[in-house]
């Protein structure tokens, strides 16, 4: 079996069409988009067309899309600037957010810039909306920051309900949509979201580029200073090839959304069925085993393995050519376990190893059969 990649929640394979588009731009459209000559105007036109295409899909105006280096910058932009510029003194989030959010709000709290409240979670790791409503009663200028799809356990947030709760209580809503944009439709006119973070490499685009959606007339000022790029909102010479690559991946993701969703959903269901057949004691963390309540792109499994064997599980998978993960790629250099599973699982359940398998259009059922057989052989040997 050739190497098998089941870690698309960490990053996806770049589509060939995206690579071709980016290569053509790097070869032919090398003008600085801030220059007024024809080379610069040509680059600028590509950026603005990309902005318009993205905005149209999300049902927003082009001026509300600000290109960034990725989701982490977009999260920081919204959180830090909301506190600095909009008088936010209270941030509500959860303890299973991405560290781009958690570390930012921790810094805001440590600096005395804002108080942070953590909304309760239910037994499956979903946000307790009654507790969120309770926290929204605190009489302070509040920003709620909650992710649409959890990157480790796949739970889907009811963004419509959260957005409405925020609106009804005069709070701002920031949503980290890094794991959902490109995989789910989202109409930002219909959902009361003020700020959104997106990263291209989660939907078969290039790394190092993403965008922030910032609702018009928000009052936010730049996080990065030094130039008038991005309508003065984000200084720095634009990476035209990355922006065009993002837009190509984005438009392809939505043009093929239904077919890709059906294909990947079938893979996930097949993986769940095969695991349950070959490993009857397998458990699914969060709601990742529920196709209706979790994203179709990943599953997080807890395996019946004694602690001494668990230590070499991920190494064994890698040795067999299977790429998966035990948590977010952003914490892979840490000796700590998954902060998400620590919040969701009991101490006893944490003793069993968990792995996240995430899928894309480039995976096959033959690869699933191979991965399940490797797990079976390892566990039963």
Q: Write out the E strands in the chain.
A: 4-5, 65-68, 90-93, 115-118, 142-145, 172-176, 195-199, 210-214, 283-284, 298-302, 322-323, 354-358
Q: Calculate the alpha carbon distances from 220 to 64, 122, 146 in Å.
A: 11, 33, 19
Helices (H) and strands (E) in the chain, counts: 13, 12
Cα(90)–Cα(124) distance, rounded to whole angstroms? 26
Q: Other CB atoms closer than 10 Å to residue 140's CB: what's the count?
A: 13
Q: Calculate the alpha carbon distances from 134 to 24, 75, 92, 98, 128 in Å.
A: 53, 24, 11, 23, 10
At 115, phi and psi to the nearest 5? -90, 145
Nearest by Cα to 90 from 70, 123, 64, 116: 116
Q: Which residues contact 16 (CB under 8 A, 6 or more apart)?
A: none
Tell me which DSSP letter residue 63 carries: G
131: left (phi over 0), alpha (psi -120 to 50) or beta: alpha
| Residue numbers annotated as active site | 330
Cα(245)–Cα(123) distance, rounded to whole angstroms? 40
**Residue 184, beta-bridge partner list:** 181
Tell me which DSSP letter residue 188 carries: T
Cα(142)–Cα(161) distance, rounded to whole angstroms? 17
In this structure, the strands spanning 142-145 and 90-93 are parallel
């Amino acid at each position: 079996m050739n190497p098998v990649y089941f870690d698309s929640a960490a990053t996806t394979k770049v589509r060939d069409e995206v690579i071709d588009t980016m290569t053509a731009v790097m070869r032919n459209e090398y003008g600085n988009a801030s220059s007024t000559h024809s080379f610069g105007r040509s680059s600028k036109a590509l950026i603005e067309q990309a902005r318009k295409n993205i905005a149209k899909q999300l049902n927003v105006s082009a001026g509300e899309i600000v290109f960034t280096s990725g989701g982490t910058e977009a999260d920081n932009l919204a959180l830090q600037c909301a506190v600095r510029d909009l008088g936010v003194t209270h941030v509500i989030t959860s303890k299973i957010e991405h560290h781009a959010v958690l570390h930012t709000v921790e810094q805001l709290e440590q600096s005395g810039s804002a108080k942070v409240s953590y909304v309760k979670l239910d037994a499956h790791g979903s946000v307790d909306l009654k507790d969120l409503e309770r926290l929204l009663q605190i009489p302070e200028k509040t920003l709620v920051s909650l992710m649409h799809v959890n990157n480790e356990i796949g739970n889907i947030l009811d963004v419509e309900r959260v957005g409405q709760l925020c609106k009804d209580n005069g709070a701002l809503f920031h949503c980290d949509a890094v794991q959902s944009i490109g995989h789910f439709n989202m109409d930002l006119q219909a959902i009361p979201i003020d700020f959104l973070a997106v990263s291209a490499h989660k939907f078969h685009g290039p790394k190092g580029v993403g965008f922030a959606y910032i609702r018009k007339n928000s009052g936010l000022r730049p996080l990065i200073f030094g130039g008038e790029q991005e309508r003065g909102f984000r200084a720095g010479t634009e990476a035209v090839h990355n922006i065009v690559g993002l837009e190509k991946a984005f438009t392809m993701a939505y043009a093929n959304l239904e077919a890709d969703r059906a294909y990947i959903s079938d893979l996930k269901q097949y993986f769940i069925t095969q695991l349950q057949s070959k490993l009857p004691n397998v458990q699914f963390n969060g709601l990742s085993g529920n196709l209706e309540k979790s994203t179709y792109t990943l599953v997080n499994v807890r395996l019946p393995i004694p602690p001494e064997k668990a230590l070499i599980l991920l190494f064994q998978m890698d040795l067999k050519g299977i790429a998966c993960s035990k948590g977010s790629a952003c914490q892979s250099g840490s000796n700590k376990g998954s902060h998400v599973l620590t919040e969701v699982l009991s101490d006893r359940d944490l003793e069993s190893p968990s792995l996240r398998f995430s899928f894309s259009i480039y995976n096959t059922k033959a690869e699933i059969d191979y991965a399940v057989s490797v797990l079976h052989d390892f566990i039963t040997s």
